[in-house]
Each structure stands twice: as structure tokens, then as C-alpha cells.
Structure 1
Amino acid sequence: MKKILLSLAALATFGFANAQSRDKGTIEITPKIGISGFSEQNEENYTDSNSGVELGATVDYYFNNRWSLRSGLIADKMGGKYRIEQNILAEDQLNYLSIPVNANWHFGSTRKWNLNFGLSPSFLTSAKVKANGTSIKLPKNTIESFQLGFSYGIGYKIEFTEKFGLLIDAQFFNGLTNINKATDERILNGGYSFNLGGVIQL
């Protein structure tokens, strides 16, 4: 039993200490799941943040062992929480499908860290407001169906084999375009997510 435990410990140490080379043309797919928090911002105030689940998958195309281009499909619940009256808490539940286009810099001596940044176009899939336990669908003329945001994040990859690893990352989103169609007030989405994903090298 002792030999088995020592062998497992040695294997784990080898996986954590050694980097796998990423040549030009290497492709990695990372299905992931996470928790998110988003709020809405006007010129003066922020709403309280909501909570949601982030689901999606990203694809990295490597130019060398330091740089890759990352894109994919990410489903997020954005919006935020706010009080209509003193005893009524409302929540905008805005579901988006985003397609990030980010430069991804892999750094550290073993290239296990990554820092990504770029633009993220998002498409509204559903929009509701929830108050006092009741959800109401928002009319199409109240919320823009498209938004553009700046997305960025940092992550750490644990490699178990040449073809498989685990990615732990934090991603952030700052809206650049107004989502409000109902009034002249400019409103932007903004938030974050913490994610866990399986990295599969093709």
C-alpha cells in the first residue's frame, strides 16, 4: 500500500511540475462550468449583483507556447438586483450567449498561468424581471438584443497528461454598449465568474 501511495504521489508531482509543449497549430477545447455575479450600471449607480451559473466551452488555437487565440460560446445570466420600493426587491434576469474573441498569454516557467483579454459580443436570449416571486417577460422594445463588452481573465492549468488537464479561472466582463431601449438612460452590464473546466488537447 505504501508503494502504491508513493507512486501516486510521484505521478501527481510529475503532472504538476512539468509543462507540455504547445506548438503552432495546437488546439485545446475547454468545456467549463462556473458561478457568476452581475450588476447593472448607469452614470451614477450600480445595482446589487445577482448570482447565476455560467456554462460554455472555449477553444484555444496556439501560435506558439506563449500565445493563443481564445474563442467559444458562453451562456451567462446578467442583469442585477434593485429595490422598486422599500419592501419590493426586483431582479433583471438577462440571459446572454457570448462569443469572446480574446488574446491569451501563457506565462510562468511552465506556462501553466494564462492571462486573456479581448472583446466579447453577446446576444440576448431571454429577458425577464422578477419581483415578489413572480417573473414577467420584458418587452423586446426595452432591452437591446446585442451588446459588446470587454472581457478579461486569469487562469491556472493543472496538467495530468499530455492531452488532458484542469483549468481554474476567473473571468470579468465590462459592458461597452447601452442595453437600455426603453429610456434615454445609459445602462451597462458588468460582472465576473469563477470557473472550472476540463482542458482537452486535440
Structure 2
Amino acid sequence: MRNIMLFIAVAVFSLSNVSAQERDKGVIEIIPYLGYSSFFLNGDEVEQLDSRASLSFGVKGDYYFNDRWSLRSGLTYDAMGASVPKSDLKLDYLNIPVNVNWHFGSTRKWNLNFGVTPGFLMKADIDGDDVKDFYKSFQLGISYGIGYKLEISESFSLLFDSQGFFGVTNILEESDNFTRLNAGSNLNIGGVFTF
């Protein structure tokens, strides 16, 4: 029993003394992640549409300008669209977020990010029927989020974050004063590799 208590005390002491998350200029972090997403459509005649839940994944990276600010970008695969009664409108995008990331707290483990996200339509279907011709191949959105890093070692951490997206461009190819925009959010977990 005494050995178990000693082990727990050493483990707690080690975790509490893990070095701060402060980063120097030029440090790069690579973050592969997996998440749960929920997206919906904003705009005209969307009252009968529900959100579409799915998995999202990708790889992001942070380039640090100093210990408080970094530029975050990467490639993300997001399942957007909506659920309609007995079917789903599946709009799958390859997104490229370009966000400014502010690291805060005494050890810089928290972060807020915001910026723009251009997206490219990869797939559009309703119940297996291709409807890609009805949607624009490009969209632009505002992205934002908050996250927390749990440091495991000097070069590896776990990132828990929530990211939001609000489309600002109409996704419909033939709109004629009819607007549809993607919007939604992700809850993610990722591995942070520091170089």
C-alpha cells in the first residue's frame, strides 16, 4: 500500500511540474484530430431541415510568432448539409482554415482562434443521388473556436477543442434570390506534436 501511495504522489508531483506551454518564435505544432460535428443550413426555407451529425477529421498546424500568438491552418474534412425527413443532404467539404490563435492563461494551455475558412465541395448527394451540379464548388466561412492542451511531455500534448463555422457565401449554384449557407460546430480531440 505504501508503494502505491508513493507512486501516486510521484505521478501527481510530476504532472504538476510539467513545463509551461509557452512557445518560442518559429515553433511548429502539427495536430491530427478526430471530431464529432453537427452542421445545419441557414437561409431561405430551412425551417423543416434538421442538423446533420457526423465525424470530422483532419490535420492542423500552428506556427508560433511568440508565446501568445500563432497562425493555425491545415486541411479538414467536414460533413455539412442537413437532415430532412427520411433522407440526408450530404455536403462534404475539404476546408482550409486560416485562423489567428491566441494562447492565454499563465501556462498558455488555453487558446482562442478566429479567422476565415475557404472550402471545396467534394461530394453532394441525397440518398445516393449525385446533386453536385446544384451546389457551388467553393464556399467561404468565418471560423472560430476555443481549446485546451493537456501536456503529456515536452513534445506531445492532447488538444480538446470546440470549433465553430458560419458560411458567408451562398452554396446554391442557381440562387435567384434564394440563399443557403452552411453553419455548425465540431467537438474534437487531437494529438499535438511540437517541433
- The TM-score range, normalised by the shorter chain, is over 0.9
Q: Deviations over 1:84-110 (max 9, x none)?
A: xxxxx2211011000000000001111
TM-superposed deviation, 1:43: 3.6
1:90 aligns with 2:93: no
Report if the CA contact (8 A) 2:22-2:107 is conserved.
Answer: no
Change (3 A) 1:78 1:30: same
Out of 130, 134, 147, the residue aligned to residue 137 of structure 1 is 130
1:145-164 → structure 2 map (5 Å cutoff): 145-164=137-156
Out of 149, 162, 169, the residue aligned to residue 161 of structure 2 is 169
* SS in structure 2 of the partner of residue 8 of structure 1: helix
Gaps of 5+ in 2: none
Alignment-mate amino acid for residue 30 of structure 2: I
TM-superposed deviation, 1:143: 0.6
User: 2:52 corresponds to which residue?
Assistant: 50
Gaps of 5+ in 1: 84-88
Q: C-alpha root-mean-square deviation of aligned residues, in Å?
A: 1.3
For residues 90 and 181 of structure 1, the distance between their equivalents in structure 2, rounded to whole angstroms, comes to 21
Alignment-mate amino acid for residue 64 of structure 2: Y
User: 1:86 corresponds to which residue?
Assistant: none
Alignment-mate amino acid for residue 32 of structure 1: Y
1:58-137 → structure 2 map (5 Å cutoff): 58-83=60-85, 89-130=86-127, 135-137=128-130
Alignment-mate amino acid for residue 55 of structure 2: V
Report if the CA contact (8 A) 1:167-1:198 is conserved.
Answer: yes
% identical aligned pairs: 48
User: 2:42 corresponds to which residue?
Assistant: 41
Moved over 6 A (4+): none
For residues 46 and 59 of structure 2, the distance between their equivalents in structure 1, rounded to whole angstroms, comes to 32
Alignment-mate amino acid for residue 181 of structure 1: E
Report if the CA contact (8 A) 1:141-1:182 is conserved.
Answer: no
1:198 aligns with 2:195: no
Compute the TM-score of the two structures, normalised by the length of structure 2: 0.93
TM-superposed deviation, 1:181: 1.4
Alignment-mate amino acid for residue 196 of structure 1: I
* SS in structure 2 of the partner of residue 4 of structure 1: helix
For residues 156 and 21 of structure 1, the distance between their equivalents in structure 2, rounded to whole angstroms, comes to 13
User: 1:22 corresponds to which residue?
Assistant: 23
TM-superposed deviation, 1:13: 2.4
* Count of aligned residue pairs for this structure pair: 190
For residues 103 and 21 of structure 1, the distance between their equivalents in structure 2, rounded to whole angstroms, comes to 16
* SS in structure 1 of the partner of residue 66 of structure 2: coil
Bigger mean CA offset, 47-56 vs 187-196? 47-56
For residues 91 and 41 of structure 1, the distance between their equivalents in structure 2, rounded to whole angstroms, comes to 16
Compute the TM-score of the two structures, normalised by the length of structure 1: 0.89
Report if the CA contact (8 A) 2:102-2:111 is conserved.
Answer: yes
For residues 20 and 79 of structure 1, the distance between their equivalents in structure 2, rounded to whole angstroms, comes to 37
For residues 20 and 37 of structure 1, the distance between their equivalents in structure 2, rounded to whole angstroms, comes to 30
For residues 180 and 91 of structure 1, the distance between their equivalents in structure 2, rounded to whole angstroms, comes to 17
Bigger mean CA offset, 66-75 vs 34-43? 34-43
